[in-house]
Amino acid sequence: MTSTPSASASTSFSATIGKDFLASIVVFLVALPLCMGIAIASGLPPTAGIITGIIGGIVVGFLAGSPLQVSGPAAGLTVIVLQLVQEHGVEMLGVIVLFAGLLQLVAGLFKLGQWFRAVSPAVIHGMLVGIGILILVSQFHVMLDYKPIGTGLENLIGIPGAIVNAISSAGPHLAAGLIGFLTIAAIFGWGGLAPKSLRVIPAPLVGVLVGMAAALALGLDIAYVSVPDNIWSETIFPTPERMMRVLEPAIMIGVVSIAFIASAETLLCATAVDQMHSGERTKYDKELSAQGVGNTLCGLLGVLPMTGVIVRSGANVEAGAVTRNSAILHGVWLLIFASLIPFTLRYVPVSTLAAVLVFTGYKLAYPKIVPALMKFGKGEVVIFVVTVVTIVLTDLLKGVVLGLVLSLAKLLYAFSHLVIRKEETPEENRVDLYLSGTATLIRLPMLARALEELKPDAKVHVHIEELDYIDHACIDLLSSWDRQHRISGGSLDIQWEGLTEKYKNRTAEAFRTARNDPLITGRFPRET
């Protein structure tokens, strides 16, 4: 008897739901402290992060083009969201996120998903490292129950003073700092010492539980998380007056920034997730549209924007998730927990959540990327360093834009840079031309001039070992010049077949290097 499609689907569901259920619990435990911590770091109440996590799980999980990717509030947007809140107020954040979501939705409908991935790895990693540094230095102050000072550089410079003040006061700030360091120690300890059978319990959750237990046991007078009985009471709906402000240049820049960074991080995260499993591959345009729907809803509720998040997605895959049901269920658990027992969150010290983000920033500021980028030339390292430094000294948007400009400049240089070195042997009437770089239409006059300067009867040997690329126009020039040169009594020795093969071989080698390098493939370092 042949099974019906419905029977087959039922069997498939029953075979996967157990794995998806267990994976969803793990993802929920990872997501809960991060949702709250990222919200606080962004200048919003913890419920704003939880609501974003709920929408990212239930809505985006159902629509996603990457079935095993988990969406929610991301550390990568913390810096820019905080800046927007400080400049325009929390009331305008919803408007900005709403239109950013609509922009993502339109981009997905117009099949622009692949284009968002066309960003240099040096810029992406520079962005992540810069964000990591900014999160680390700002949340270090929060971990001591102080407020961040200002810019990334100011926060960095202010850390020694904050430590001295906390120690000298010997009061709540010192107590909060000790709880924060205890949280970080617990995260490190659990990651390195916990038995394999227990490592399914996320290290950030262990850190939060240890910090919470210590603070409660000692009765410490430090700052704790403040949440209302109804998590939906703090939503802020956009008004028509606020929505009209989207035409202001500063607001529009915020919209584009959120849309671009959220899309780039989401789609690169999806690429990384694809490399973690052998199941269904990502449909990038569908994923981009799903993120647009999610951020549109987040904007309507005035909560945090979302992206696909590597830490939750990685935990999802490692926990054995098979289908999108895991991501959806993790959103359901967030909804149930925050709706029924939100009072339990009031026992969580703010310093423990800040400590989780300090650790997150440390993991994002991944130092091993530089040797990986060196394989692709010093130019990539320069772009990476400039992006990081600019982000830390100014802001995220300026750093990313400058990185993109440098990447474009490097690309234009690469496709227009040609070096022709000439060595003459008069006694043999021989001339050796060594070509390096790229021989394209842009440099054709340079190549033609070098050939025209040679003696009509010279024995010319053209070496292409260091030539990276040659286009049809330059090949045609060499071919035509060869015919004319032979008529005048000269000769040309060149590997015609190797002109394009040399480039193909070099490209293949670079591709093989990239495939084997987890940092270049987009397998970003785990946030936690």
- 483: CATH: 3.30.750.24
**pLDDT, position 330:** 96
**pLDDT, position 496:** 76
79, pLDDT greater than 70: yes
Residue 196 forms part of a structural domain? yes
- Of the segments 22-31, 94-103, 268-277, 491-500, which one has the largest average pLDDT value? 94-103
Domain boundary among 379, 409, 439: 409
Domain boundary among 409, 426, 443: 409
Residue among 463, 151, 95, 443 nearest 299 (CA): 95
Residue 528 forms part of a structural domain? no
Q: Are 61 and 31 in contact (CB under 8 A)?
A: no
Rounded mean pLDDT of the chain?
A: 86
427 shares a domain with 326:
no
Query: What is 215-283 written as a DSSP string?
Result: HHHHT----B----SSGGGG--PPPHHHHHGGGSHHHHHHHHHHHHHHHHHHHHHHHHHHTT-SSPPP-
**pLDDT, position 81:** 93
383 shares a domain with 434:
no
Burial class (CB in 10 A: 0-12, 13-18, 19+), 361: buried
12, pLDDT greater than 70: no
- Give 302-345 pLDDT, tens digit per residue: 999 999 988 888 889 888 899 999 999 999 999 999 988 888 88
175, pLDDT greater than 70: yes
- Name the token pair of 167: 């120690």
**pLDDT, position 504:** 54
CA distance 55 to 328: 9
Average pLDDT over residues 167-190: 94
455 shares a domain with 482:
yes
DSSP state of 439: E
Share of the chain above pLDDT 70, in %: 91
483 shares a domain with 357:
no
358 shares a domain with 426:
no
Helix (H, G, I), strand (E, B) or coil at 114: coil
209, pLDDT greater than 90: yes
Residue 520 forms part of a structural domain? no
**pLDDT, position 238:** 93
Q: Which domain holds residue 463?
A: 418-515
Place 103 in a pLDDT band, splitting at 50, 70 and 90: very high
**pLDDT, position 117:** 67
CA distance 313 to 325: 13
157, pLDDT greater than 90: yes
Place 522 in a pLDDT band, splitting at 50, 70 and 90: very low
377 shares a domain with 328:
yes
Which of 75-84, 257-266, 287-296, 361-370 has the lowest average pLDDT? Answer: 361-370
**pLDDT, position 481:** 92
Residue 44 forms part of a structural domain? yes
Average pLDDT over residues 152-179: 93
Burial class (CB in 10 A: 0-12, 13-18, 19+), 16: middle
435 shares a domain with 338:
no
Residue 2 forms part of a structural domain? no
Domain boundary among 376, 391, 409: 409
Residue among 223, 211, 207 nearest 171 (CA): 223
Share of the chain above pLDDT 90, in %: 51
Residue 99 forms part of a structural domain? yes
List CB contacts of 526: < 8 A, sequence separation 6 or more: 310, 311, 314, 363
Q: Where are the alpha helices (H) located in 467-517, listed in sequence order?
A: 472-487, 498-516
Average pLDDT over residues 276-291: 91
Average pLDDT over residues 137-155: 90
Residue 527 forms part of a structural domain? no
Q: Are 524 and 269 in contact (CB under 8 A)?
A: yes
Place 273 in a pLDDT band, splitting at 50, 70 and 90: confident
Average pLDDT over residues 115-139: 83
Average pLDDT over residues 434-459: 89
CA distance 286 to 386: 33
CA distance 378 to 406: 13
**pLDDT, position 269:** 84
**pLDDT, position 158:** 94
Residue among 49, 53, 42, 17 nearest 312 (CA): 53
214, pLDDT greater than 70: yes
**pLDDT, position 3:** 52
Residue 1 forms part of a structural domain? no
507, pLDDT greater than 50: no
CA distance 366 to 385: 12
Helix (H, G, I), strand (E, B) or coil at 288: helix
207 shares a domain with 118:
yes
369 shares a domain with 436:
no
482 shares a domain with 402:
no
511, pLDDT greater than 50: no
Number of domains forming the structure of the chain: 2
162, pLDDT greater than 50: yes
143 shares a domain with 36:
yes
183 shares a domain with 157:
yes
